[in-house]
Amino acid sequence: MIAKVLLSIWMTLIIVAAFLYADAAAGFPGETSRILFFHVPQAWVATLSFLLSMIASCIYLARRSLKADNLALSAAELGLLFCLLATVSGSIFAKAAWGSFWNWDPRETSIVILLMIYGAYFALRSAVGDADKRRVFAAVYAILAFVTVPFLVFVVPRITASLHPENTMNPAKPGMDPKTLKVFLGSLLAYTGLFIWILRLRLRLLKLESMQEPEFVVREKIDQEGERQ
Amino acid sequence: MKNGRWITETGSSTYLSEAVAIWLRDLRGEFRTRYAVNAILMFAVTTLIAVSFSIGSFRIGEAEQPFLYAVLLWIILVFSALSGLSRSFVKEEEAGTMDVLKLSARPQAVFLGKLFFNLTLLGALELIIVPSFILLMNYEIELPGFFAAMVIAGGIGLGGGTTIVAAMIAQASARGALFSVLSFPLLLPLMITAIKGCEKAAVGANNPGWPEVRIAVAYSIVMIVMSLFLFPLIWEE
Amino acid sequence: MKNGRWITETGSSTYLSEAVAIWLRDLRGEFRTRYAVNAILMFAVTTLIAVSFSIGSFRIGEAEQPFLYAVLLWIILVFSALSGLSRSFVKEEEAGTMDVLKLSARPQAVFLGKLFFNLTLLGALELIIVPSFILLMNYEIELPGFFAAMVIAGGIGLGGGTTIVAAMIAQASARGALFSVLSFPLLLPLMITAIKGCEKAAVGANNPGWPEVRIAVAYSIVMIVMSLFLFPLIWEE
Amino acid sequence: MYSLEVADLCKHYTETLLFKDISFKLHPGEVLSISGWNGSGKSTLLRIVAGLVRPTTGTVAMFFKGEAIPKESRRRFVGMVAPAFSLYEELTALENLEFFCKVRGIAYDRKSCLAMMERTGLSENTHKLCRNYSSGMKQRLKLAQALLHNPPLLLLDEPGCNLDSKGMKIVENIIAAQRQRGMTVIASNEKREVDYGDRVINLSE
Amino acid sequence: MYSLEVADLCKHYTETLLFKDISFKLHPGEVLSISGWNGSGKSTLLRIVAGLVRPTTGTVAMFFKGEAIPKESRRRFVGMVAPAFSLYEELTALENLEFFCKVRGIAYDRKSCLAMMERTGLSENTHKLCRNYSSGMKQRLKLAQALLHNPPLLLLDEPGCNLDSKGMKIVENIIAAQRQRGMTVIASNEKREVDYGDRVINLSE
Ligand code: HEM
Ligand SMILES: Nc1ncnc2c1ncn2[C@@H]1O[C@H](COP(=O)(O)OP(=O)(O)OP(=O)(O)O)[C@@H](O)[C@H]1O
Ligand SMILES: Nc1ncnc2c1ncn2[C@@H]1O[C@H](COP(=O)(O)OP(=O)(O)OP(=O)(O)O)[C@@H](O)[C@H]1O
Ligand SMILES: [Mg+2]
Ligand SMILES: [Mg+2]
């Protein structure tokens, strides 16, 4: 409860600070640089949750525990959601900054591939009737999909020149002005908190749902037996 | 002693020999029905002619040719592959032979056998498409060695990335379209690499060490090794 | 009287109502197995993205755009169609339901039912692909009415031209090579016409009477009428 | 009123002769059995009578009140069950029957379809997908499908296949009922089923 | 030397319970029959024993000289025939057997495959495509396939399905031979086949 209140206060502060406290960076048309405080954390959270989904899938395959599958599923859902948010926010700003909604910037390409992969992940889940099969297949696909990520990161950027302000605003590099850096890091924190909060809600919901279906309860029993053996 | 035979005998057989048996059977079945080859060739020939008819008949700027041609070639290859590669597993499921195969073969052998079969199909496809594409489009390639290596490595990657997906969709309800949906994103990094490689080969850019070929080979190896580990999970579920 | 019923009753049923029954069953089967429903969208998006990524990422001369885009659009449409349209018959054969269908339905009703089904699929496909293609590629069309008519007429032609071929490949498992040989020349004239039509629509050429649409409509009518006559021969052998 | 006339049927497969000079006439109320070893051509003969396979030589003709029924409308007069047939696996049992009613031009009537399923002992599984049916349940549904249009000619290829004793009883009832109304041809390996026939044609002799 | 232990098997399909608390042990020389009405779960039970379907709860274990055989190598010890199985229709019968020999890791030996086909009464049709096999010939070939590797555990789901009286005799011989060497589980609707078992588990009770 307290955590929730703190999170909402923190979020509000960050939004206010993003517009009033931090200065607009040079090299961006108008105020467009403020995208940094929303768009980048969204992309970061999306990446984080895909990673989480992949790890949970591995755990599911090793242990066949329902919890791991629920985690993989909800992380993938949230990842897709934040990925969409990052795409939409980026796209809106792109119209202002680069003149058109879509330019096939390497970042745009890779985010679209991510969207496709996780869209496919859900298509697969809905196409497999048997519950056990569905979980195994989804986990296998999540792992295979993540295997391609390094290729996306290292290969795609070589193809087209990037429009992205790669080095000017990279927070890891010195040069970001301290005010911007402060708000940016705060925003990262806020988005991560938001992510964890929604994830826990989703997990609770999944657990409640599965309690209504007797099949799942029985399965969990086997899962424990399987672990004993 | 009869009973002893049951245990010892299987030791003499390797994954490879079993995989080869599966490969040869698929080839033979394919040769008799020509279903996959047809699906693939039909699409490939149709697009090839359509593309060459449409692109070939008007002028594209010299500078843009290498890139555009590389893109077209790989779109034709990838989509032709997607139209046929899932057949080997889907047919097994639809004909009701999957159960018997599950009871008699080791999963890794099945995976390898099907992979070999898909690679054979891809090889045949490339043998037909690539030369005809080059001829029809008047595609000038400065570095034929690099180009060939790129096409071969890309083909292996295509097979490596799709075989396990085919096994999954064969057991799922939405087959045809699901296959492209699941495979395509997995193949995109490879496709982008291969396009870049073919473009460079056409232009004749100085390209020491053939990095694109290496990337494609790395992709293939990673995909095949991962699949070998993951396949038994899918097969036995 | 029982015996009397056997003869008279069937009179009340028309080819159309039987064809509709077959059409609805196919739709329902399709919906259940989600062969298309769940994935057709992703599939269309996949192809579109591939094309728009590859073409969109570099600039094509203004003058060349209308033609190139028309070609790409029709390649996407024809490919999607070919990859799915033959299924309705092939599945019937592979699942072993063809014999029962032959025993219970009139050939013309079967043909019409399958044609409706294929046209439904094509309609759904075009509804998804065409608008997204236009948006993604920033495809400027001067004569939207002509363009829409061309797309619709082309779709009907695609369905008309492929349905009977699909019935043939489903029957002739060993004569399968026929399919690529047959369907390709069958569809090519239509495709060329449609490409030309879409190009004109984009450029906004003065085009009284929409000749390309007429050709496509004529093609569709000829194909469908011919198929209605020829289909019973294929079906009953 | 109806009759079936089969004259001088002969069927070759490339080099091998399956059977030759098969002739018989059948009238309502009669049951004909076809027996023979595995591979002797029983199923092929039934498929020829149904019009699914062409004979090498010979003719199959059906008459209604002395008039020949054209081949195109034979489908209304024939109901058939065979091991090689399948129903639509992705539909439920009832949907399958509904489909075959409509395609045959019989107004679909849910009640009578349910009654048919009751008759073949499937009333508890009307809404199950056929994919999940057991082998015996599939066979029962095939029987139901063949009876939907009250065919004057019923062709039963191994009708008792996969069935339990209750199912066998159902087949027996079906044959008895058909005897009241029309013609039946049974092809089977089972002595019990062959014995339902008034006459037997043995293809292995 | 071998043994099969099935403990507390229970199988649910979403809402319905198929069977529960099935336990048995089997030793070489024993034949177990499974009976029950159509749809009672006989085939499902056999598929669970073969490892093709997961039970909801319970375990299936095979032992060789007291040691448990891991699930991966169970394929070497099990041969199975079922109505839902098919062989490769585009291969000839002999090619099918050759394929299964190789895939199972048994050195392919044409003579012994031919002997197997002789044993199942197919010696005249070794080079025919399976697509053109009659229903009974297919069933015989499935039997041959299941016996190729001399499996210590033979699972027969409706083994006499589609067979003529000679074929039934062949099944009888197969069961008698298997009794000398290993274990057999038969699932069937036919009283005759059920009676081959020393013990009977009736799933409908
Ligand atoms: C459709 C349009 C866009 C998409 C899909 C997109 C997507 C992305 C993605 C995926 C990242 C990587 C985040 C990470 O590594 O975790 C990123 C980073 C970033 N984006 Fe965008 N973006 C878009 C448009 C824009 C625009 C218009 C701007 C600013 C004018 C912008 C500014 C940035 C910045 C500053 C970063 C951080 C770069 C770095 O870490 O070096 N983006 N974007
Ligand atoms: N298309 C074909 N080409 C060649 N031979 C065929 C073809 N179809 C069937 N045969 C052969 O014809 C013979 C008769 O087959 P059919 O199915 O009629 O036998 P059956 O009497 O029904 O046998 P069963 O009792 O096993 O069902 C078989 O030997 C079969 O191999
Ligand atoms: N995947 C599934 N989902 C739901 N129900 C299923 C599934 N598979 C089988 N069933 C049901 O389980 C029951 C048992 O089927 P099974 O095939 O084991 O029966 P059986 O005893 O072999 O019958 P038969 O004598 O007809 O062969 C049937 O009612 C069937 O409908
Ligand atoms: Mg037969
Ligand atoms: Mg059964």
The per-residue pLDDT for range C124-154, each reduced to its tens digit, is 888 888 988 888 777 888 888 999 999 999 9
**ipTM associated with this complex:** 0.84
pLDDT band at residue B8 using 50, 70 and 90 as cut-offs? very low
Burial profile B111-134: b = 16 or more Cβ within 10 angstroms, e = fewer: bbbbbbbbbebbeebbebbbeebb
Structural domain includes residue A54: yes
**Least confident residue range of B81-95, D107-121, E6-20, E34-48:** B81-95
Q: Are E136 and D38 within 8 A, CB to CB? A: yes
CA-based nearest distance C11→chain B, Å: 37
Using pLDDT thresholds of 50, 70 and 90, give the confidence band for residue B5: very low
Q: How far apart are CA A91 and CA A73, in angstroms?
A: 27
Residue, of C26 and E107, whose pLDDT is higher: C26
A180-189, B58-67, B188-197, D120-129: segment of lowest average pLDDT: B58-67
pLDDT band with cut points at 50, 70 and 90 for residue A216 = very low
In this model, does residue B23 exceed pLDDT 80? yes
Within 8 A of A120 by CB-CB distance, chain B residues are: 181-182, 184-185
- Which residue does chain B place closest to E83, by CA atoms? B96
Instruction: Give the pLDDT band of residue C90 (cuts 50, 70, 90).
Output: confident
Instruction: Mean pLDDT check: name the lowest of B160-174, C97-111, E77-91.
Output: B160-174
The answer to whether the beta carbons of residues A65 and A202 sit under 8 Å apart is no
Structure tokens at C3: 């015996």
Residue D43 has pLDDT above 50, yes or no: yes
In a domain, A41, yes or no: yes
Q: Which chains touch A (3 or more CB pairs under 8 A)?
A: B, C, E
Q: Which residue among A98, A164, A167, A168 is best mutated to probe the pocket of ligand 1, counting the most ligand atoms within 8 A of its Cβ?
A: A164
Please state the rounded mean pLDDT for residues A206-210. 83
Residues D171-196: tens digit of each pLDDT: 999 999 999 999 999 999 999 999 99
**Among all ligands shown, which has an atom nearest to the Cα of E11?**
3
A214 in a structural domain: yes
Kindly state the tokens that stand for C123: 């309609």
B20 in contact with C, Cβ within 8 Å: no
Range of the domain at C30: 4-235
Residue A22 lies in a domain: no
**CA A15 to ligand 1 centroid distance, Å:** 18
pLDDT digits 0-9 by tens, C202-231: 888 777 888 889 999 999 999 999 989 888
Cα gap D13→C197, rounded to integer Å:
51
In the DSSP assignment, the letter for residue A215 is: H
Range A114-136 average pLDDT: 85
Q: Is the CB of residue C162 less than 8 Å away from at least one CB of chain B?
A: no
Q: Identify the band that residue C13 occupies on the pLDDT scale cut at 50, 70 and 90.
A: low
Whether residue B173 is predicted with pLDDT greater than 80 in this model: the reply is no
Average pLDDT over residues D13-22: 89
Q: What is the dihedral of CA A108, A110, A116, A117, to 10 degrees?
A: -160
Domain containing residue A167: 32-224
Name the pTM for this structure: 0.86
Domain count, chain A: 1
* Residue A225 pLDDT > 60: no
The confidence score (pLDDT) of residue C44 equals 62
Query: Chain E within 8 Å of B28 (Cβ-Cβ)?
Result: yes
Percent of chain A with pLDDT over 90: 22
- Is E99 at the interface with chain B, CB within 8 A? yes
Residue A150: predicted pLDDT: 76
Give me the residues of D, 171-200, that contact E with CB < 8 A: 189, 191
pLDDT, residue E66, reads: 87
pLDDT in tens, B53-93: 666 555 566 777 788 788 888 888 887 788 778 888 888 88
Q: C234 — phi, psi (to 5°)?
A: -70, -40
Residues at CB less than 6 angstroms from ligand 1: A 28, 32, 35-36, 39-40, 43-44, 47, 86-87, 90-91, 93-94, 97-98, 107-108, 111, 164-166, 169-170
The response to whether residue E135 sits with its C-beta less than 6 Å from ligand 2 reads yes
Which comes out higher in pLDDT, residue E195 or A26? E195
Number of domains forming the structure of chain B: 1
| φ and ψ at residue E51, rounded to 5 degrees | 90, 10
Residue closest to C55 by CA, chosen among E198, D164, A160, A138:
A160
CB contact C122 to B (< 8 Å): no
Nearest chain A residue to B195, by CA: A159
Of the listed ligands, the closest to the CA of E162 is 2
Mean local confidence (pLDDT), D153-165: 95
Positive or negative CA dihedral for A211, A216, A218, A224? negative
Averaged confidence pLDDT in chain B = 83
- What percent of chain E shows pLDDT beyond 70? 100
| % residues pLDDT > 70 (chain B) | 84
Q: Check whether E3 has a pLDDT greater than 80.
A: yes
Give me the pLDDT at residue A215, please: 47
Handedness of CA A90, A91, A92, A98 (dihedral sign): positive
Residue C1 pLDDT: 36
SS3 C60: coil
- At residue A165, the pLDDT reads 64
Min Cα distance D58 → chain C (Å) is: 16
Share of chain E above pLDDT 90, in %: 83
Report whether pLDDT(A221) > 70: no
Q: Which of residues 100-159 of D touch E (CB under 8 A)?
A: 121, 125, 132-137, 140, 158
Q: How far is the CA of D59 from the centre of ligand 5 (A)?
A: 39
